[in-house]
Amino acid sequence: MLEARQVTRLFGQKAAVDHVSFRVEKPAFIGIIGRSGAGKSTFLRMMNRLTDATSGELLFEGRNILSLQGKSMRDWQGQCAMIFQQFNLVPRADVVSNVLHGTLARRGTLSTMFGFWPDDDTLKALAILDRLGIAEQAAKRAEALSGGQQQRVAIARALMQDPKIILADEPIASLDPMNAQLVMDTLRRIHDEDRRLIIANLHTLDTARRYCDRVIGMRDGRVVFDGTPDQLTTGVARDIYGADASFNESATSTSIDGLGRKGDDAYALAMLN
C-alpha cells in the first residue's frame, strides 16, 4: 500500500533523509527510532507534505504523493493525519471544537470562522471522544486538560478526518509514563480496530518493542534497521543510536517502573535523544 523509493531531503549539502526505501504491504503499526537528528521528523513531514522532498518517490496505493499539488495535495493531507509531540491544539478553544478542526480541510472558511459546525459532525466528534474515554471533557478548554488528555484530543481530531494513515511525531515525548502508556494504548487500539496504518517516531526502544509490528531504525538520514521488535537486539540498538560499548539499554526505558528519577539511566537516554 505504501512504498518509499530513494526518498531524499537535502538541507544545503546535508542529507537529512538519505535515499530511504521501504515497502508496507498492509496496514501495520510501524515505529521509527533513531537518535536526535537522524531524520525521523523530516521523513514524516515529507509524507504529510509539510516539507518537500529533494528527490525520490513515495507511492501510496500506486500514486506518487510527493508530486501532488493544490487540491490533490490537500486531499492527501486529509487522508494522512498527523499528531505532534506538542499536541498542536487551540488552547483556548473547547475540546469538541478542537476535534471538529479535523474537518477543516473539507469545509468552507466562512462557516469555520463563525464556528458553524454541522450537527452530524458534532455528534461524530462526541462519539470519537467517547471512544477515546474523554467525552466528559468535551466542553472544557483544551488548555485545562492534562497532557495525556490533550494528546487524546489530538488523536480524536485526527480520527475526525477518517484518515488511512496516522503519522505520529514523538507522540509521547512530552508525557509522563502513565499518560504515555494511555496514548500508546489508544493508538494501538485504533490500529487494531480500524486497520489504519500508523507510523510513529518514537524516542525509546521499549515503546517501539512493545507496541510496533515493525521497527525502522534511522541513523544519519539512512535506514540502518528494518525488522520486527524481536530482531531489535541490544547490539542492533547500539548500532542505530551510534552508541559505544557502554550503551545501556535500560537507559531507553519509559516504562512506569523504570522511569522518572532525574540522574538515573532513563533520564540519561532522554538526554541522548
* Binding stretches for ligand ATP (CB under 6 A): 11, 16, 34, 36-42
Closest CB 135 distance from ligand ATP, rounded Å: 33
Residue with cell 501495520: 28
Beta carbon of residue 228, minimum distance to ligand ATP (angstroms, whole number)? 21
Residue with cell 472558511: 109
To the nearest 10°, the Cα dihedral for 187, 173, 39, 164? 20
H helices present in the chain, as ranges: 40-47, 70-79, 95-100, 109-113, 119-131, 147-160, 177-194, 205-211, 234-241, 265-272
Task: Choose between 34 and 148: whose C-beta lies nearer to ligand ATP.
Answer: 34
As measured in angstroms, the least distance from the Cβ of 271 to ligand ATP is: 12
- The residue (of 38 and 95) whose beta carbon lies closer to ligand ATP is 38
Helix axis angle, 147-160 relative to 119-131, nearest 10°?
Answer: 130
In 3D space, the residue among 31, 24, 28, 68 whose CA is nearest the CA of residue 50 turns out to be 68
Which residue lies nearer to ligand ATP by CB, 126 or 243?
Answer: 243
Our separate counts of H helices and E strands in the chain read: 10, 10
Closest distance between ligand ATP and the C-beta of residue 166, in Å? 17
Reduced to 3 DSSP states, what percent helix, strand and coil does the chain have, rounded to the nearest 5? Answer: 45, 25, 35
Rounded (5°) CA angle 7-11-17: 30
Query: For ligand ATP, which is the closer residue by CB, 149 or 207?
Result: 207
CB 40 to ligand ATP: min, Å: 4
Tell the smallest beta-carbon distance from residue 174 to ligand ATP (Å): 12
Choice between 35 and 124, CB closer to ligand ATP: 35
Q: Which residue's CB is nearer to ligand ATP, number 39 or number 102? A: 39
